[in-house]
Chain A
Amino acid sequence: MTASILQAPDMTDHLDLLESHAIFILREVVAECEKPVLLFSGGKDSAVLLHLAAKAFAPQSLPFPVMHVDTGQNFPEVLDFRDDAVARHGARLVVASVQESIDQGRVADPGPLGPRNRLQTVTLLDAITAHGFDAAFGGARRDEDKARAKERILSFRDAFGQWDPRQQRPELWQLYQGRVNPGEHLRAFPLSDWTELDIWQYIERENMALPKIYFAHEREVVRRDGMLLAVGPFVEPRPGEEVERLVVRFRTVGDANLTGAVLSNAATLAAIVNEIALANVSERGATRGDDKFSETAMEDRKREGYF
């Protein structure tokens, strides 16, 4: 212990308080639930969640496994990051595969290039049942979407995995109570009160590693449905689409065929924090094809049991 790293007691800013709240939730759920799991997509929010989980239980290893619901349509950089992060934290990785759900006939096959985002719900719920998980940590934030803005930090799911927004449990003070009956489960969202800017300021402060695609780089893209899609195994240029080489980065990470890039020169964490502080389009509005379908796309997916 060296004196220089000791902090004055008044050095508490909003990031310290958000971090503390998240760590509190992580510890509370682990203490109250039998078999939790942490949902890990390899994106920035789940990276922050894993980082916080490691802090919450250090120096012990993570008291729960990490689960990736794998659509098979990932950016390769994200899979690399997932494997690095899991190894660095000594975590146990469970992969729940959407391809397997398709092969087993649990969901209809949308074809090799078709969207798989919504299919994940079945894969996720099947895996939760198969492993007997009674709580699943997710990195969702309330500032992402108007339906998420309504959700409790500990959010109850019935025996069919459904969320009922009209019947949420009261959640008073920080008395998170996590008891469920067999077959039911909880989703726990320790990052509920973080905004996108908080996430980036925290990543910068903690100097965390992230998938490379979050930083500005040159890549081939096509313009489709108002998005810049990266040309690759899951996005083939269609007739009439022009392939352009642009300097871009990703603000969110989802399936490669549903996640748009943004034009950006932000190649460092400091530059990204500046960019986000000045942004006038939301992260989902800028980049996510999966939310564009209807006014209540997220609410509808959540009701079914989506993340």
Chain B
Amino acid sequence: MKLAAKDLLRLATVGSVDDGKSTLIGRLLVDTRQLFDDQLDAVAAASEKRGVGDLDLSFVTDGLRAEREQGITIDVAYRYAATPTRKFIIADCPGHVQYTRNMATGASTADLALVVLNVAHGVKEQTRRHLCIAALLGVRTIIVAVNKMDEVNWSESAYVAVVDELTTLANELGFESVTPIPVSALLGENVVERSSHLDWYAGPSVLQALEACDAGSWTHAGSGSRLPIQWVLRQNGGGRTYAGMLNGSTLHEGDTVTLLPANIETTITSITSGSGPRHAATAGLSIDVGLADETDAGRGDLLATSPLPTVTKEFEATVCWFGEQPVRAGQRLRLKHTTKVTPARIRELSGVVDIETLSVEAGTQLATNDIGLVTIQTADALVVDDYRDNRVTGSFVLIDEVTNATVAAGMVGRASFL
């Protein structure tokens, strides 16, 4: 048996606590037979021990002791599934507001968000917050599982009401593809197999939608290649190559590139990836490249093809604040952007997002889990793109200088819905 080449789709569950995210992922894994017999036995044994029925499917992903004791998801669980042509990396995220930082962790690498909501409750504040964060993080495609259909007697009108509410919000947030699906995660209706209770529904099951969707790309057509330099490799017999993970558009041997921030033009003479030399490389590959001219390029520099990114020490950004203490303008922090770390400060806090209305209000501080519009100032020049053009060169994290904790996720520019 020769196993076919697969593409890779990363997805994250989002939505409010108890709407059934973990149960849905458990159901998806069980019904596609991705779980081994002993893992299923262990879930059954844990369910029995805690008196929650024969098989509590949320235990497939809620694996920590505290999670099982409290019946909640605290941190992201990563699970894997494969169909003949696609490998899925599934991040099952927590719904509680105090674990928003963990939800953002799971969603930051996602190509697609699997939104779960309870048909009886509709869009809750945490659903709004999660969708807003997913949109900020650049997720363009969502599958919306309208869950617990068994509790409303499979009512089409209840489903339609929730879908209308959700679609309005999704349009405001600018999602490009929205696929609503009525499901019962608990009973496995419309998760893998089409449901017999839902004869008024003609669309795909969750699995069918996941298999059909575009694996997605973090790159917009027409954006340039970006190679943040991680490491300089000394070649045998002299010479150097520059290693990093490529993002943006395809890079070819012979391409003219600009080394930034130094602003030196040169030419790519060789490209090598893990499997050896190649003429060209696409985004997501770790490569090292040779350059036609001698340069003093090093870690923290960036090789780019046009349109070129911006070299700057001050820029507008949208940040999700995760620090336990509120932050105000003037705060000094450390900032990591691509492969560069520099001292930075929040020069100005120009607004705080109201999750209910998605409007930007004036504010003097960002509390935990607030989303704010800020101006960032850095000690060293950064080479940035707007986040909407490039998720790698447009993103940064802020770090507490004392504890080294990551206290904010930052995106260069301002999302169109804000």
B192 on interface, CB distance cutoff 8 Å = no
Q: How far is the CA of A9 from the CA of B105 in the complex (A)?
A: 30
Contact of B299 among A10, A31, A169 (CB under 8 A): A31
A197 on interface, CB distance cutoff 8 Å = yes
Question: Would A16 and B37 count as touching, CB distance under 8 A?
Answer: no
Question: Would A181 and B102 count as touching, CB distance under 8 A?
Answer: no
Query: Which of A91-99, A106-114, A211-219, A275-283 interfaces with chain B?
Result: A275-283
Query: Which of B78-86, B148-156, B177-185, B349-357 interfaces with chain A?
Result: B78-86
0 or 1 for each of B278-292: is its CB under 8 Å from A? (1 = yes): 111110111000000
Question: Would A12 and B392 count as touching, CB distance under 8 A?
Answer: no
CB distance from A30 to the nearest CB of B (A): 7
Question: Would A55 and B282 count as touching, CB distance under 8 A?
Answer: no
B235 on interface, CB distance cutoff 8 Å = yes
A interface, over-half SS: loop
Answer whether A14 and B39 are a contact pair too, CB < 8 Å, given A170-B322, A170-B409. no
CB distance from B92 to the nearest CB of A (A): 9
0 or 1 for each of B1-26: is its CB under 8 Å from A? (1 = yes): 10101111000000000000000000
B384 on interface, CB distance cutoff 8 Å = no
Question: Would B66 and A166 count as touching, CB distance under 8 A?
Answer: yes
User: How large, as a class, is the contact surface on chain B?
Assistant: 35 or more
B222 on interface, CB distance cutoff 8 Å = no
Q: How far is the CA of A179 from the CA of B401 in the complex (A)?
A: 10
Contact of B395 among A142, A172, A277 (CB under 8 A): A172
Contacts of B82 in A (CB 8 A): 195, 197
Question: Would B230 and A27 count as touching, CB distance under 8 A?
Answer: yes
| Segment 34-88 of A: residues with Cβ below 8 Å from B | 52, 55-60
Answer whether A201 and B279 are a contact pair too, CB < 8 Å, given A24-B245, A170-B102, A181-B404. no
Q: How many residues of A contact B (CB 8 A)?
A: 70
| Segment 168-182 of A: residues with Cβ below 8 Å from B | 168-175, 177, 179-181
Chain B residue, CB-CB nearest to A19: B274
B315 on interface, CB distance cutoff 8 Å = no
Q: How far is the CA of A175 from the CA of B1 in the complex (A)?
A: 38
Question: Would A173 and B109 count as touching, CB distance under 8 A?
Answer: yes
CB distance from A140 to the nearest CB of B (A): 12
A118 on interface, CB distance cutoff 8 Å = no
Chain A residue, CB-CB nearest to B78: A142
Chain B residue, CB-CB nearest to A165: B64
Q: How far is the CA of A201 from the CA of B1 in the complex (A)?
A: 12
Contacts of A56 in B (CB 8 A): 243, 286
Contacts of B279 in A (CB 8 A): 6-9
Q: How far is the CA of A295 from the CA of B405 in the complex (A)?
A: 31
CB distance from B180 to the nearest CB of A (A): 28
Of A1, A17, A30, A149, chain B has the most CB atoms within 10 Å of the CB of A149
CB distance from A286 to the nearest CB of B (A): 8
A126 on interface, CB distance cutoff 8 Å = no
Question: Would B6 and A14 count as touching, CB distance under 8 A?
Answer: yes
CB distance from A208 to the nearest CB of B (A): 13
Question: Would B87 and A14 count as touching, CB distance under 8 A?
Answer: yes
Question: Would B38 and A281 count as touching, CB distance under 8 A?
Answer: yes
CB distance from A103 to the nearest CB of B (A): 34
Contact of A150 among B1, B75, B275 (CB under 8 A): B75
Contacts of B42 in A (CB 8 A): 295
0 or 1 for each of B338-379: is its CB under 8 Å from A? (1 = yes): 010100000000000000000000000000000000000000
- Return the 6 tightest CB-CB contacts between A and B, nearest first: A146-B63, A285-B38, A9-B280, A13-B5, A20-B286, A282-B36
A30-B231, A59-B235, A195-B82 known; 12 other A-B pairs, CB under 8 Å? Answer: A20-B273, A20-B274, A20-B284, A24-B245, A59-B236, A146-B61, A146-B63, A169-B405, A170-B406, A172-B409, A175-B396, A295-B68
**Which residues of B does A touch, CB under 8 Å?**
1, 3, 5-8, 36-39, 42, 45-46, 49, 61, 63-66, 68, 74-80, 82, 87, 89, 101-102, 104-105, 108-109, 230-231, 233-236, 243-245, 250, 252, 270, 273-282, 284-286, 299, 322, 334, 336-337, 339, 341, 391-392, 395-397, 399, 404-406, 409
Q: List 7 A-B contacts (CB under 8 A).
A: A7-B278, A8-B279, A24-B286, A31-B231, A150-B75, A170-B322, A175-B395
